[in-house]
Amino acid sequence: MCSKSRKMIYVTRLNHTPMVLNSDLIEQIEMTPDTVISLTTGEKIMVLESSDELVERVVNFRRSIVAGPGVAGPAGSRVAPGVQNG
């Protein structure tokens, strides 16, 4: 498994285009009328998911790393393909 794919979570842009985001690059999440993710690169991404959903996805992703392979995660949690939820 590629180490890059182990850092990714799914998000959905406002135009309903799905994308996979490197969770290590998230600097902050703003809760304006839309959810705005600020990255350490200076880029800002507006997404449909709430800040709570994004935090849950990143936490679940990081738990999966600590738990190791073969540990099933909660139903509906979304991380990049090939990454175990935990």
SS3 track for 59-72: HHHHHHHHHCCCCC
Q: Is 58 helix (H, G, I), strand (E, B) or coil?
A: helix
**Does the pTM of the predicted model rise above 0.85?**
no
Per-residue pLDDT of the chain (86 residues; tens, 9 = 90+): 444 455 789 999 999 999 999 999 999 999 999 999 999 999 999 999 999 999 999 999 888 888 777 655 555 555 554 444 44
pLDDT of residue 29: 97
